Structure 1
Amino acid sequence: MKTTLSDFVIAFLDLMEAEGRTLKTASIRVGWGMAFIILATVFMLVASSSFLWGIYQLLITVVSPPAAAMLIALFALILAAVAAVIAKMVSR
């Protein structure tokens, strides 16, 4: 059987069609995954802000407001450093 250039082109286009469907499905999955990651990030920011605000409100009953703000900033900085170290360890 003789294989011609048109046979290769047809086979290539069939492959591209099948892979295109797979790519579409994978792209939709990635899109939904990214949407949920963004949503989770927003919820985490709101929860973290509320938590830190609550601690601030508690601390201003014990220390002055500027000192409470500095303590909260230090606490948030430590949490960010711990999160960065964990992210670095996970990415290896």
Structure 2
Amino acid sequence: MQWAWVGFDVGLTVGMFFLAARWRRSIGALLAVAVSLDAAVMLVEVLVYNVPRASGPLVLTVLAVACGAPALAAAVLWGALERRGGISE
């Protein structure tokens, strides 16, 4: 499972480089959906597995950052799509 996540992250990184080099709505939409799903899975994982085992406020803070980062990235990607005319164009 760990290698699947590594592959997913490598794919996201490659996609982001392609998107940074030249904006393509299809790649932007694909990445926005993928990062949104990643944020949702991360939140569920943290709530179900990590929070019950958290040993203090520092751990909870790290978990909040771990959940917030993909959510923020998804929001940025969805915002970029909207500013560039949405998904349907």
- TM-score, normalised with respect to structure 1: 0.37
Which structure has more RCO (C-alpha within 8 Å, separation ≥ 6)? Answer: 2
